[in-house]
Amino acid sequence: MPGEPPRLARIAHLTLSERVYVELRNALMSGRFVPGESLTIRGVANALGTSVMPVREALQRLAAERALEIVANRSIRVPLKNEESFEELLQMRLMLEGRAAGLAAQRATPAELDQVRRFNHGFDDSPDDDAAAARLFANREFHFAIYRAARSPLLLSLIEMLWLQSGPYLMAPIRWRTTRGEGGSYFAAGVVHHRELIEALAARDSDAAARAVQDDIRDAAQAYRDVLAVRAAEARLGDAG
């Protein structure tokens, strides 16, 4: 009808709360927090240089998406998953990300493949675990450049939801290795899998692309399981002593 206001108002730019949400979301997906790590509204606000209100709104939104949890005293932390829920998350990632990689092998343009290679340089170039946070960020950019090339918006949104819950498990083995002075590179297997994945995409081999990304996911999951196994063994020894 003439003069009737629009049902939805045009958004000129992201609100401050939305920008805080996006930054926290990216941080979780890139492994900048570890399972069980506590967050405070004031601490996040200080780190981002903003007021507490948009931070509170963003944290509540992430809690609703199960990326964070509000515990008994109303503090906020990155969820700890038991073995069953961790395995369920792993199986969902294997299925959906394998499917996305297979589709990308069929649909990615030469320009998109070049972008995948560029993102992998940020992950591949360092020979050790220095600048781990930067490498994990490059890892996320690499994977999602592939998943976007699958051209399946619903599949992409589901994978993003899973990465919100699985991202923190990427950093845990790195911090554990650092505190123990462990040698070698946590990223060594990932470097190999990424190269295999790029080769499969370039060859338009959907099956090989799916296998490469699934092997990458399995190795990262096993690294976290190894940390849990050692911690459990140390706890048993402590109890016995």
Instruction: Supply the mean pLDDT for the chain.
Output: 85
CA distance 205 to 199: 9
Higher pLDDT, 28 or 71: 28
Q: What is the per-residue pLDDT for 3?
A: 53
CATH classification of the domain holding 130 = 1.20.120.530
Domain boundary among 77, 100, 117: 77
Q: What is the per-residue pLDDT for 148?
A: 98
Helix (H) or strand (E) holding 108: none
> What percent of the chain clears pLDDT 90, i.e. is strictly above it?
55
Domain boundary among 77, 105, 120: 77
Statement: residue 9 has pLDDT above 50 = no
**Whole domain around residue 197: which residue ranges?**
83-240
Q: Provide CB contacts within 8 A for 174, sequence distance 6+.
A: 31, 129, 132, 136, 186
Q: Provide CB contacts within 8 A for 115, sequence distance 6+.
A: 145
Whether residue 105 sits in one domain with residue 20: no
CATH classification of the domain holding 29 = 1.10.10.10
CA distance 163 to 165: 5
Q: Provide CB contacts within 8 A for 16, sequence distance 6+.
A: 50, 54
Whether residue 87 sits in one domain with residue 43: no
Higher pLDDT, 132 or 189: 189
The pTM assigned to this predicted structure is: 0.84
Whether residue 225 sits in one domain with residue 158: yes
Distance of CA 8 to the CA centre of its chain: 32
Residue 5: which pLDDT band, with cuts at 50, 70 and 90?
very low
Whether residue 139 sits in one domain with residue 33: no
Statement: residue 180 has pLDDT above 70 = no
pLDDT tens track for 26-61: 999 988 888 889 998 999 999 999 999 999 999 999
Whether residue 107 sits in one domain with residue 39: no
Q: What is the per-residue pLDDT for 177?
A: 63
Residue 8: which pLDDT band, with cuts at 50, 70 and 90?
very low
Statement: residue 223 has pLDDT above 90 = no
Structural domain count, the chain:
2
